[in-house]
Chain A
Amino acid sequence: MEKHSESHSHHVIVPVKSYVATFCALLVLTFITVLVSRFDFGSLNLTIALVVAFCKASLVVWIFMGLKWDRGFNLVAFVGSILFLIIFIGLTFSDIAFRHYRDSVEGEQFGLSRPVKAITSGHHEQSH
């Protein structure tokens, strides 16, 4: 059996200071993300929040969950699953983000508009 080909991760005992440093970094990043959210950067708000969250998540996965010492298939599986999530988001948005085009064409022809818009005035709500 191929048992020796995988990592010997469970013999790795990580120094306490690595964990403490990670912990402090997570607290600092939390502080940063809260601080930044007190200011309005417009459409950048989401990007900033996601970048910081991604950094925090990477720290947790890399150090606390030990992927740094694990590597191998565990890393492939976890990173791969994120790719599939991106596929899910991406292809769903290939519909959601482009539906207004069809709506406007059909709307002109048949006097129809997208149901979600008709009732709740989706994109018009900026005017409030």
Chain B
Amino acid sequence: MVHESHAASEGSYLTNPKGWKSWLFTVDHKRIGIMYLLFIVISFALGGFFALALRLQLLSPVKFLFTAKQYNQLFTLHGAIMVFLFIVPSIPASLGNFMLPLMLGAKDVAFPKLNLASFYIYVFGAIFCVFSMISGAADTGWTFYTPYSTTTDTSVISMTLGAFILGFSSILTGVNFIATIHKMRAKGMNWFRMPLFAWSLYATAIIQVLATPVLAITLLLLILERTMGVGIFDSKLGGDPVLFQHFFWFYSHPAVYIMILPAMGVMSELVTTFCRKNVFGYTTMAYSSIAIAIISFLVWGHHLFVSGQSDNAAAIFSILTFLVGIPSAIKVFNWLATMYGGSINLKTPFLYFLSFIVLFCVGGFTGIMLGALSLDVYFHGTYFVVAHFHYVMMGGTVMAFIGGLHYWWPKMFGKMYSEFWGRVACFFIFAGFNMVFFTQFILGAKGMPRRYFNYLDQFQSLHAFSTVGTWVLGLGFLIMAFYLIDSLINGPPAPANPWGGMTLEWQTQSPPIMHNFESAPVVDHDPYDYKRMDG
């Protein structure tokens, strides 16, 4: 299957062609994926730094390190950077860009130049976000709610302009992926022979294309409101500030599925490879991804339960919100059923899979709680919401991102990392994460409101425990950074298929050659047909 001799003559995508210019102007989806990965990791580190800083302030119930305004700016920067620069592009733009064409057996994405353009649009948008950071950072929270965002004197415009531009990067990636999946599949790979990661990227791309333009227009309206006035969010003129929330969440609720759907796809790949079993209920897995994408557009109003929307709307949105639980639960049950009777291989990526299952279930169940209208009136605006969000986004998406990164690391860089340190880091991250955020469930249930830089003395021990948790979490990521960088320099070369995976990306060299495959692959079986491979 792998022709070592020919690989040696052509060289991997990493070294052929050589020179920094060949990277900056590359249209190779693998190189673009790696460049995205670099920027995404930097953004994650930056957002994480802000998180550490604001948790440090919360060690004390009174002013300690930062003023109230600085604290507001810190959590805004943390939120905006983590959402727009890290988590939205995280899995699709880096792992997805790298893996999608390989998994489909294609030479590249449908529009390689557009792919490079979306990368540079991302960088361009990031520059605006960084500019906001150094020019009086926005203090509105990452949701930019009016009327505060139209009146505060911090640099809201450059931050929203950055997010506006980043939105187009996301849209173009979505366009590219839809066209790639429709048109670039290898011979014999029909829709139901596609790996589930491709299905989840397809569902993600649907949301990116349908929802992101609404964010773009919302942020544009906000910018115009600040510069020339539009009036529609301005209650002085008869505008409606709540309409901003409708507009914002029409994007941003589906957007959390932009964040979690690719993660679910990674999970499906991990479970099948490390259990050496076909995914239980492949078809329902595929359809549930699409179902999540569609239902995600029907539920945005659950963010407005206490914003003054009509009772009718609140009731409708509450009922519709429960619907999302169905396809999500189908996925969790199917993953568990896949593990049943499988020959489980507890490698680092699979540890992240297990972390994901636990944390995502906690996040999902509390999501159902928050979707219930009556409960939300109590929990809204408390740390309970913060904890729920982080359980889904960090416990879900980030765990999957790291799991996927470890899973495909040998393929991407052709090096193996230290399994021992991988497990150590996973332990620290899992333990630290729960210290930080489970505590916040308790804080929220006790009534601790979010977004305050000071609090009542009675909450101090819980807040301090949560802050110590961030250090454990940070230590875990630090260890990971060390052993991953070390693997690039000293790591043993990776075989083509270190985990015994079935999907097409494992059928080529590690790292792959520039055109991905020696000869165009032909598919004549289901994506996870381990019986065929083993027997």
Contact = CB atoms under 8 A, between A and B. Distances in A.
Judge A-B direct contact (beta carbons within 8 Å): yes
Interface string A1-42: 111001000000000000000000000000000000000000
B251 to A, nearest CB: 10
A94 B310 CA distance: 7
Nearest to B520: A1
B483 interface: no
B297 A87 contact: yes
B310 A98 contact: yes
Contact of B311 (A1, A91, A102, A115): A102
Contacts of A119: 235-236, 238
A99 interface: yes
A2 B192 CA distance: 13
B313 A91 contact: yes
Given A1-B185, A94-B316, A120 B311 contact: no
Contact of A73 (B182, B300, B311): B182
A115 B239 CA distance: 9
Nearest to A81: B210
Contacts of A91: 298, 300-301, 313, 316-317
A55 to B, nearest CB: 25
Interface residues of B, number: 32
Contacts of A110: none
Contacts of B235: 115-116, 119
A95 interface: yes
B345 to A, nearest CB: 34
B525 interface: no
Contact of B237 (A81, A99, A120): A120
Contacts of B304: 95
A95 B184 contact: no
A120 B237 CA distance: 7
A88 B210 CA distance: 11
B282 to A, nearest CB: 19
Interface secondary structure of A, over-half rule: helix
B240 A116 contact: yes
B183 interface: yes
B187 interface: yes
Interface in B192-245: 210, 214, 235-240, 242-243
B9 interface: no
A73 B250 CA distance: 24
Contact of A88 (B182, B250, B310): B250
B184 A1 contact: yes
Contacts of B214: 88
B309 interface: yes
Contacts of A101: 310-312
Contacts of A81: 210
A87 B211 CA distance: 12
Interface string B294-305: 000110110010
A81 B304 CA distance: 24
Interface string A97-128: 11101100000000000011001101000000
Nearest to A84: B210
B264 interface: no
B423 interface: no
Contact of A116 (B190, B238, B310): B238
Contacts of B243: 92, 96
Interface string B166-190: 0000000000000000111111001
Given A1-B183, A120-B237, 16 more contacts: A2-B185, A84-B297, A91-B300, A91-B316, A92-B246, A92-B250, A95-B242, A95-B301, A95-B304, A95-B309, A95-B310, A98-B310, A101-B310, A101-B312, A115-B235, A120-B238
8 contacts: A84-B297, A91-B300, A91-B313, A95-B301, A95-B313, A98-B310, A115-B235, A120-B238
